[in-house]
Amino acid sequence: MEFYLGSNAPHWLDRCPYPLFVSRTRLARRKKLPKAIIPWCLDSGAFTEIATHGKWTISEAEYASFINRYSDEIGNLVWAAPQDWMCEPDMLDKTGLTIKEHQYRTIESYLKLRDLTETPVIPVLQGWDLENYLDHIEQYSQAGVDLKSMDTVGLGSVCRRQDTRYAESIVAYLSQLGLSLHAFGFKLTGLKTTGHLLKSADSMAWSYNARKNPPIEGHSHKSCGDCMEWALRWREKAMRAIARSHAAQLPMLV
């Protein structure tokens, strides 16, 4: 299982010893780009776009140009997320659209982007209840995309759930269908239970954890929320949790 440490600091790409998950919104602010010394994946910035604007403000062609530039100039880019549409209730309130419309637009983005860049763009499943995710799998199939044959399939709208056990049960069920899942922003509690069922995952939870606690002794900043040392210490905990997940009791399938 590959774990990508989330980072708001693009310059970590040329100094962090472990794989990273970095957002387009952060990279887009930089004129000079770092050279990646480790594998990394590109977050499209979907949450920021939908939460702030209720829609995407850049086209697929514009996003594809970002992907191509980052692949060429930064290097070591494993894959990019599409311009997906999350299905949390508050995101639906932002757009005024239905889950099915969000799912349709997510598929449409994937189909367009895969023709605009040579860098792999992964399909993403969106939904809220298990039935929604299963419907989305069928929608991909109708669009000619066999998700079981894909190297990586993103799982969206799981990281902000209050009911963590329900999210874990969705992972357990979908993994039994033969999908190679990447869990976006999965919580440490979820990794402890279902980490072994995932192809990969990313998390920025370390930053929230750091902001809720005093800084590391000897650090002069008020918070370690952007501190690599804190992030790497937290990553060690995450990796131990993933290693132990094989022995965890799986949540009941929903």
Is 60 exceeded by the pLDDT of residue 80? yes
- CA R_g for the chain: 18
Cα(130)–Cα(132) distance, integer angstroms: 5
Tell me how far apart the terminal alpha carbons of the chain are, to the nearest angstrom.
24
Residue 166 pLDDT grade (very low, low, confident, very high; cuts 50, 70, 90): confident
What is the pLDDT at residue 251?
64
Backbone angles phi, psi at 24, to 5 degrees: -60, -35
| Interval 3-60: pLDDT, tens | 999 999 999 999 999 999 999 999 999 989 999 999 999 999 999 999 999 999 999 9
With 0.75 as the threshold, say if the pTM is over it: yes
DSSP summary character for residue 121: B
What is the pLDDT at residue 43?
98
| 8 Å CB contact between 122 and 82 | yes
Cα(25)–Cα(117) distance, integer angstroms: 19
Domain 2-247 grouped into CATH 3.20.20.105: yes
CA-based angle 175:85:55, to the nearest 5? 170
